[in-house]
Each structure stands twice: as C-alpha cells, then as structure tokens.
Structure 1
Amino acid sequence: MSARVHVSLDAMADQTNRPTRRTLKLRDWISTEPGAWVIVLMPALTAFIAGGPSWNSVWLVVLWCLCYCVQFCAARFAKSRGRARYRAPMLTYAALLAILGVPFLLKFPEILWWAPLFAVLFAGSLICSYNRAEHSIIANLCAVLASSAMAIPVTCLGSHLSRPFQEMLPARGVEIACAYALVLFASVLYVKTMIRERGNSRYLAASWAWHALITAVGFCFSLIYGILGVILLARAIIVPLATRNLKQTVKVAGISECVSSLISFSLITYAAMTLPM
C-alpha cells in the first residue's frame, strides 16, 4: 500500500514538473534567452536616447524587435530541419514585419543602404543554427555586429538631425556602434569563460586580452570609456578566478552579466549624449 502511494505521488510530481503543452507552445513564440534580448536592444536604445527620440526612431526600434523575433524563430526552424512547430511563429512574425516594414521602406528607402550587411549577418546566423553551432563565436559575432550596427540607422532618424537620414554615417551613431561592438563581444568571451569554455585557458587569455584592448582604446577616446573598460576587465579577471572551484557558475555569470550590462548601457549612453562629436 505504501509503495503504491509513493509511486502515485512520484507520478503526480512528474506531471507537475513537466512543462504543459501551453507552456511549450509559448516557448515557440518567445525567445528563452534574455541575454540575447539585451544584446539586441541595448545599442538601439542608446541610439534612440542619444540621437534624440522621435516617432520615426520608435518605428525603427519596433521593426528591429520584430526582426529579432523572425531571426530566432527562423534559427529554430533551421536547427530543427524544418519542424512544423516553428513555422507558424516564423511566418507570423515575418507577416507583422512586412505589414509594418513596407510602409517604412516606402517612407525611408535610404534604409536599404544597410540591407546587404544585415542580410549577410542574418544568413550567417541561419547557417550556424542549421549546423547546430548557434553558440559558436561566428554566430555570436553575427549577433553582436548586427545589433551594434543598428545604432547607426536609429541615430539617422533621431530628432538631433534636421531631417531623417541627413547623414548616412552620423558620428554619434558610429561611436555608439563601435563602443557596443567592443563591449558586447567582450561579454561573449566572458560568458564563455564562465560556462561553455570554463577551464579553457585559451579562452580565458583571449577574454583578458580583449578586455585589456577595449580598456586601452577607451582611455584613448574618453575617461568614461576608459572607466567602463576597467570595470569590465576587473570582472573578466576576478569572477572566473574566484569561481573556479564552484560546480555551477551559470547563476553567477547571469547576475554579473546583468550588472555589467546595466553599467555598460548607462556609461555608453551618457558618453554618447555628452561627449562632443
């Protein structure tokens, strides 16, 4: 009798802990990687603030979010070799992107100047996903470059310019894009030394070297960027060494990355708003 009760309780626990069909379907529509959303949004939001908020830049940021939704659904579709469960989210997001994006293209055809770059990065991301290498350096680099580059067209639509796309490469947008490209790739290397490449001395050395580089480059441009580089370098050195004997470092990596992302966003945004162009 007791044994049957235990078996019944265990079965109930399994059913309780098992994701429901509704939860699984929700995961098909929403990215389960909050870190990816941070990479996608930070450069665009900094450009939106520093370039001067406008309804046109709001429009572009919304389109950029839809682009990411299409990308992560398409990546899952490619990785699964065309499973039907990922088709509906991908096509739905693509339809929404077309509905909101075609009027934007008609109003601002200059945005097509950026199409080749984003097409190449999107293709690279899908190829990596198809080969089940979505966490590779190449895939991460595609994400970092795409999200960083988006700062430039968002700045082109900001209210600080007398008219949209008055400049195709505004200095403020280029500065934001370069700053984030350096910082976000540093974060990629740091997270790898904490999780997937933990204990890999080559990755640790590469992370330290990259962080040292962005610190040196930062001080060459401004004290603000230099201080940001020092903070990120200290994180890249201290945290992996302090946690090398821990069994699980995912939570530590997540918390430290949240803090450093907030600091990076604040300092880069402040620098873009205050430093002379």
Structure 2
Amino acid sequence: MALTPALAGMIIDGTNPTTIWLFAAWVLCYCVQFTAARWFKSRFAHRYAPPVAVYTVLLAAVGLPFVIIHPTTLWWAPLYAILATLSFVAAWLRRERTLWGNAVAILASCTMAIVVSSFGTHAANAQYPMLANGGLPAATVFFLTQFGSVLFVKTMIRERGKRGYLWASWIWHGALLAAAFGLWGLLGFGRLFSMPAIVCLWLLARAIAMPPIARRRSIKPIAVGLVEMMSSLSVFAAVLLTF
C-alpha cells in the first residue's frame, strides 16, 4: 500500500529513467522511515541503529544526485519534512496506529503519485507538470481508499465491536461508492458500472459483511491482510485503467 501510489504515478504519465530513479529513491525513503520509526519507538535501542544507518547511506547515495540534477524536487521538501516529523513523533509516543498516525503515513505515500508522475514522459512537456497529469486524481483516490482500509481493519482487529468505528467505516465506503458513480457521470461515460465503481462496491461490501462475521467467529489478522492486499491491488488496477 505504501508503494502502489508512487508506482502508479510512474506508469500513468509515462515511465522513463527519471521516474524509475525517483521511485527507487522513494523505496529507500520508506525503508529509512520504517526502520527509524522503530528506532524511535524503542527509545533508540541499539539493534535498530544499524539498519537505519545502512538505509540512510543508501538513500543519500541514490537521492542526493537526483536532487542535484532535479532541484525542483525540493518544492516538496517542506511537506515531507512535516510528515516525517509527525511520523517520528507518533512512533516516539507509540501512537503510529492511531487515525492521525495512519493519516500521516497515507498522505506521505499517496502524494508520491503526484511527485513521480510530474517527471513522467507526458508531463515533462506540460507548462505546469504538477497539475497537467494524472498524479493528482490518482493520489486522491489512493488516499481515500487507503484511509477507508484503515477504518475497515480497525473494525476487524483493534477496534472490533465498537459501533463508532463500524459506522465510520460504512459511511466512508458508502461515500466512496457514491463519489465513484458521480465522477463517472461527470466524465461523460454512459455505462452504469465503471471500474472505480466496481472496486468501491467491493470495498463497501467487505466493510459491511466481514465485521459481523468477525464478531461471531475468529478471523486471523493474516486473513484480513490478504483481503486488503487484494483490495489494494484492485484499487491500483482501477487507477491505471481510469487515469
């Protein structure tokens, strides 16, 4: 889920060596954040320091030359500095699984669809590449569906049985389905069921059907994870086919 937005951004507006390079740098950014967050959460336990150091060196080796050649990337530095700080604060407070902690991580990963696509082959010829590509709508779809995934997973595991989370998940996914039908109509397509609408229908169905089942019988977290992996891949396919 953390990498699919950037991967979609790389594909949507034309893959080239620059987008592949940036995608590789983002993978290393994710590795640095993942290991550093655990380092902060453990109050700087020694066992987490080596992977943080290794990934940081690799990121510097891959990322610094990219920034030197493409200095416009630094326009995104303030946003990601804020998101990284919030991420590490959440890890230090051991609150990375809260809604705001999840939202920070999702926003960071989904925004990469815009960043990567702005260097795509098709966007490179536009006057305003940040806006003249499919990265922005793709990032929006990824953010909305991934935050919905957070709500759904909480109804299955950490917040199972809590009506507030259950209703929040149902309302969120219902709104996504309504938006998918509305967007398809605004785009001028006549077919009732678009790929985004079908995917959103599936997301709503699993959000409604699975929590009651989990209350009657135990569903292992790995099963929930497999369902969300399938859901994430479905959203990824819908984004590529739509934008």
Do the structures match in fold with TM over 0.5?
yes
Contact preservation (8 Å) 2:13, 2:133: no
Deviation at 1:243, TM superposition (A): 2.7
Structure 1 equivalent of residue 217 of structure 2 = 246
Give the counterpart of 1:219 among 168, 181, 184. 181
TM norm structure 2:
0.92
TM norm structure 1:
0.81
Deviation at 1:199, TM superposition (A): 0.7
Structure 2 equivalent of residue 52 of structure 1 = 14
SS state at 1:150 partner: helix
Percent sequence identity over aligned pairs: 41
Determine if the alignment matches structure 1 residue 89 to structure 2 residue 51.
yes
Structure showing greater Rg: 1
Contact preservation (8 Å) 1:158, 1:164: no
Contact preservation (8 Å) 1:44, 1:151: yes
Structure 2 equivalent of residue 264 of structure 1 = 235
Determine if the alignment matches structure 1 residue 174 to structure 2 residue 174.
no
What do the CA deviations read for 1:173-197 (whole angstroms, capped 9, x no partner)? 1011001010100111111111111
SS state at 1:243 partner: helix
Give the counterpart of 1:69 among 25, 31, 41. 31
What do the CA deviations read for 1:98-150 (whole angstroms, capped 9, x no partner)? 11111101111101111111111111111011011121111110111011100
What do the CA deviations read for 1:220-264 (whole angstroms, capped 9, x no partner)? 212332222211111100111223211343133122112211211
Contact preservation (8 Å) 1:63, 1:97: yes
The 5-angstrom pairing of residues 85-234 of structure 1 reads: 85-163=47-125, 167-222=129-184, 223-234=194-205
Deviation at 1:157, TM superposition (A): 1.0
Deviation at 1:163, TM superposition (A): 4.5
Which structure has more RCO (C-alpha within 8 Å, separation ≥ 6)? 2
Rounded to whole Å, the distance in 2 between the matches of 1:165 and 1:126 is: 36
Rounded to whole Å, the distance in 2 between the matches of 1:40 and 1:164 is: 27
Deviation at 1:161, TM superposition (A): 2.5
What do the CA deviations read for 1:27-83 (whole angstroms, capped 9, x no partner)? xxxxxxxxxxxx211111111111111110000000000001110111011111111
Structure 1 residue runs of 4 or more that deviate by more than 3 Å after TM superposition: 162-166
Contact preservation (8 Å) 1:194, 1:249: no
SS state at 2:104 partner: helix
Q: Please report the RMSD computed on the Cα atoms of aligned residues, expressed in angstroms.
A: 1.5
Rounded to whole Å, the distance in 1 between the matches of 2:235 and 2:202 is: 9
Query: In the comparison of the two structures, how many residue pairs are matched?
Result: 234
Contact preservation (8 Å) 2:25, 2:63: yes
SS state at 2:216 partner: coil
Rounded to whole Å, the distance in 2 between the matches of 1:226 and 1:62 is: 31
**Where does the alignment leave 5 or more consecutive residues of structure 1 unmatched?**
1-38, 273-277
